[in-house]
């Protein structure tokens, strides 16, 4: 509800395409990350129960930190590889128990609007848990918010759900190739 209300106040309409591709059961939803609007778009319009994998430093933001912790979202400490691996292992366990996760595999918001290379950690998570990867294109976000909140414009964002990519039979060594496959799909959706 908060995601839809936030977007309505900002004058942003979201059109969802490809809902038929949503799998039953847990999945790793991999989306491009163009702006802070990505969060209300996903929470307001992706019709599945999911948790986000986020950078641990978000716990430093008042109010947001309480929400992230209370809702059971998954923090990754990217500055400490051992802690990051341990967090990803816990996230994979959560997925195996039926919790879907949403990730922004670029690692940070794209300043230029192009879909940057996807980091393989999110895809290791999918392979280790056996969950499919569902590429999501958030198209039009940069047109609505080209320069942050000050440059905010009314407009339409498309949330495109692409067919799931199976992780069956894929080993951890194939996570990089899976990441690139998902990135190509997401980028094509954003460009269309």
pLDDT digits (tens, 9 = 90+) for 72-91: 787 877 677 777 778 778 88
pLDDT of residue 180: 97
Q: What integer best gives the mean pLDDT of the chain? A: 88
Q: Are 143 and 155 in contact (CB under 8 A)?
A: yes
Residue 42 scores a pLDDT above 80: yes
CA distance 91 to 51: 10
- In percent, the amount of the chain with pLDDT more than 70 equals 94
Residue 38 scores a pLDDT above 70: yes
List the one residue out of 29, 47, 32, 162 whose CA is nearest residue 91: 29
Q: Are 30 and 182 in contact (CB under 8 A)?
A: yes
CA distance 16 to 47: 10
pLDDT category at 148 given cuts 50, 70, 90 is low
Neighbours of 161 (CB within 10 A): 23
Give the angle 131-134-137 at the CA atoms, nearest 5°. 160
Summarised one tens digit per residue, pLDDT across range 119-138 is: 998 899 899 999 999 999 99
Edge-to-edge strands, sheet with 100-103 = 12-17, 155-161, 133-139, 28-31, 100-103, 50-55, 74-76
pLDDT of residue 150: 67
């Amino acid at each position: 509800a908060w995601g839809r209300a936030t977007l309505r106040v900002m004058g942003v309409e979201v059109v969802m395409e490809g809902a038929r591709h949503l799998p039953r059961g847990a999945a790793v939803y991999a989306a491009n990350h163009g702006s802070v609007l990505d969060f209300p778009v996903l929470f307001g319009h992706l019709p599945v129960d999911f948790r986000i994998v986020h950078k641990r430093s978000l716990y430093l933001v008042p109010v947001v930190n309480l929400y992230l912790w209370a809702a059971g979202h998954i923090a990754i400490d990217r500055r400490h590889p051992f802690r990051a691996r341990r967090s990803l292992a816990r996230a994979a366990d959560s997925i195996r128990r039926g919790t879907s996760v949403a990730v922004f595999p670029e690692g940070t918001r794209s300043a230029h609007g192009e879909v940057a290379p996807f980091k393989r950690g999110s895809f290791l998570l999918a392979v280790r848990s056996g969950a499919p990867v569902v590429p999501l294109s958030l198209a039009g976000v940069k047109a609505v918010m080209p320069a942050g909140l000050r440059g905010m414009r009314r407009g339409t964002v498309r949330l495109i759900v692409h067919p799931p990519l199976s992780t069956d039979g894929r080993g951890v060594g194939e996570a990089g190739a899976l990441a690139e496959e998902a990135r190509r799909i997401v980028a094509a959706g954003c460009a269309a």
